[in-house]
Amino acid sequence: MTDAVVAPVEGASLPELRLKHREDRRISAGHLWIFSNEVDNERTPLARFASGALCRVVGDRDRFLGYAYVNPHALICARILGRDPGHPPGKSLFVHRLQVALALRERSFQTPWYRLAYGESDGLPGVVFDRYGDVIVGQIGTAGMEARKPELLAALEQVVGPRAMIWKNDGGSRELEGLPSYVEIALGEPPEHAWLEENAVRFKLPLGRGQKTGWFYDQAVNRREMLKYAKGARVLDVFAYLGAWGLAAARAGAGEVLCVDSSAAALTLLQESAAANDLGTVRTLRDDAFDALAALRAAGEKFDLVIVDPPAFVKRKRDLPKGIAAYRKLNQMAMQLLSRDGILVTCSCSHHLQQDELIAAVQQSARHLSRFAQVIAVGGHAPDHPIHPAIPETRYLKTLTCRVVHD
């Protein structure tokens, strides 16, 4: 058995990970991921590296490409952390990354409710931090960042100084990295629930027990844009979770709001938020989304504004045909519930589904029903989810606002 290399902390003495001939082009263009088939295993065998070890990435012509962490057991076997030879990974680099990330958020938001760090887009591949006032919820998805937890926490304390912090390390990507799933308190005594404000509504959310890190900050701008269609409308919010769309519509003057979700726990919190904001026009329905849409149609229900914000239907590229069919079915069922001149807000968080494919699904759904659909707004990520221009994987969210009329 070959002994694994455990990386030292000094940059110059870190072991090398060499790439094959001409496999440095994508990294030189700014991407941060190295795939196992790009490594020159004859000169620098991946098997020699411990999971999470640090290394110096070098091209076939001896050119330094950056510092990275390694996982020899994963398809993405290394991720670049920094390109300055004089600044190897460590607490000081993480402090710098978080200071730069915080500066963007403080320019973009007036209140401390946002995604503080968005993985690769903020130079911290494999980690996200969501901020709920003085509480941080973090999520690590890679072995390299799991090995740097103490340095990440120390940097977070220096830059933000949170009262409490939770690691919610239960994402599906951890299994691919050979990591266990767990939730733990890293700092202080976080409350069971937090309150945040968005679109003049206070929302109660779970810390450590909700979906993802508790809230979906990525849709914040799109939810604000939706408000112009809400006044006086009868609104249906499908896949409502904590009611971010529906309660905002109610605050904006909707005549009636129905929020549909399959989670009883989420709907309980939604109802508590509605009561706390005195939003008596909000009703909830616990059901599978597709079953609920079918039942509402059978009952002859009609809505002026329908919002469908589902989980990802396409998690892997090979699932694309099945996923496109699901988006087409969902949009068709949503359109069947629209009034004669209604607004449909339809979303996809599937990276593998392109925006044009979502538009095509809307068009096909409309034609099947002899409707005419007009895309009147196209939305993407909120500014706390910046897109890395060299990494298309950081762009996943598509939100279309469509007017649908009888043809």
Q: What is the pLDDT of residues 117-137, one digit of tens each?
A: 999 999 999 999 999 999 999
Nearest to 152 by CA among 195, 203, 84, 101: 101
Q: In the Cβ-directed half-sphere of 16, how many Cα atoms lie within 13 Å?
A: 16
pLDDT in tens, 345-365: 999 999 999 999 999 999 999
Q: Tell me the C-alpha distance between 97 and 122, whole Å.
A: 7
Per-residue model confidence (pLDDT) at position 7: 41
Q: Tell me the C-alpha distance between 261 and 236, whole Å.
A: 11
Retrieve residue 101's tokens. Answer: 């990330």
196: alpha, beta or left, given left = phi > 0 and alpha = psi -120 to 50? Answer: beta
* 263 neighbors 270 (Cβ within 8 angstroms): no
- Position 171 confidence tier, pLDDT thresholds 50, 70, 90: confident
Dihedral sign (CA 305, 257, 334, 239): positive
CATH homologous superfamily, domain 91-191 = RNA methyltransferase domain (HRMD) like (3.30.750.80)
Mean pLDDT of 176-198: 94
Average pLDDT score, the chain: 95
Residues present in the chain in total: 407
Per-residue model confidence (pLDDT) at position 11: 66
Helix, coil or strand: residue 19: strand
Q: Tell me the C-alpha distance between 293 and 276, whole Å.
A: 28
Is the per-residue pLDDT at 315 higher than 50? yes
pLDDT in tens, 137-169: 999 999 999 999 999 999 999 999 999 999 999
pLDDT in tens, 9-43: 466 689 999 999 999 999 999 999 999 999 999 99
> Is 349 one of the annotated active-site residues of the chain?
yes
Query: Which of the residues 77, 259, 349, 402 is marked catalytic?
Result: 349
Domains 11-82 and 91-191 share a fold: no
Per-residue model confidence (pLDDT) at position 14: 94
Is the per-residue pLDDT at 3 higher than 80? no
Q: In the Cβ-directed half-sphere of 196, how many Cα atoms lie within 13 Å?
A: 27
- Position 238 confidence tier, pLDDT thresholds 50, 70, 90: very high
- Position 209 confidence tier, pLDDT thresholds 50, 70, 90: confident
Query: Tokens 């606002």 identify what position?
Result: 401
The number of helices, as runs of H, and strands, as runs of E, in the chain is 11, 19
Per-residue model confidence (pLDDT) at position 10: 62
CATH number attached to the domain at 212-406: 3.40.50.150
Is the per-residue pLDDT at 177 higher than 80? yes
> Domain segments of the chain: what residues?
11-82, 91-191, 212-406
CATH number attached to the domain at 11-82: 2.30.130.10
Retrieve residue 185's tokens. Answer: 């308190």
Mean pLDDT of 226-244: 98
Helix, coil or strand: residue 332: helix
Q: Quick one: what percent of the chain has pLDDT higher than 90?
A: 92
Is the per-residue pLDDT at 104 higher than 90? yes
